[in-house]
């Protein structure tokens, strides 16, 4: 069984996309030392290999992102942040809801590409954001 990192700066990013790549680069450029786990689809061969090799702060995990069993407590327990940033809005929404309800994780950020979902998680502990408009609460982690 995998040990859960005790790092107070532990971040899990679910999915590889342009926005997750931007977020990872921002964390790596910050003055903080973050322990980042990037969970990518097992079919994705391009998943940030140069980014991963450039940093010892990133752990890469390949999973079937469409399988609910791929969401493992060890990846989300004791996180500073959990960011869902695949290119699939519905997958991000469903995964965010599953993670929140199953593990009671705080600081969940869910990327959506459609404004019709903006009010979906009001008061549920999940912050919705768009790739073109990152929330200030998220950006402050890498300033």
Read off the pTM.
Answer: 0.88
Phi, psi values for residue 49, rounded to 5°: -55, -40
pLDDT in tens, the chain (143 residues): 344 445 678 999 999 899 998 999 899 888 888 999 999 988 876 655 566 655 677 888 889 999 888 788 888 888 899 999 999 999 999 999 999 988 878 899 999 998 888 888 888 889 999 999 998 988 888 87
Q: List 12's β-bridge partners, or say none.
A: 37, 82
- 3-state class (DSSP) for residue 45: coil
């Amino acid at each position: 069984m995998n040990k859960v990192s005790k790092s107070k700066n532990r971040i899990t990013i679910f999915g590889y996309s342009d926005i997750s790549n931007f977020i990872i680069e921002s964390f790596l450029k910050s003055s903080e030392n973050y322990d980042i786990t990037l969970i990518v689809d097992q079919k994705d061969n391009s998943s940030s290999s140069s980014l991963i090799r450039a940093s010892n702060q990133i752990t890469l995990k390949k999973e079937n992102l469409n399988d609910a069993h791929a969401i493992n407590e060890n990846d989300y327990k004791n996180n500073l942040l959990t960011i869902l940033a695949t290119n699939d809005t519905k997958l991000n929404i469903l995964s965010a809801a599953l993670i929140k309800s199953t593990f009671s994780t705080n600081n969940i950020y869910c990327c959506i590409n459609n404004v019709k979902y903006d009010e979906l998680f009001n008061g549920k502990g999940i912050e919705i954001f768009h790739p073109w408009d990152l929330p200030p609460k998220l950006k402050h982690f890498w300033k």
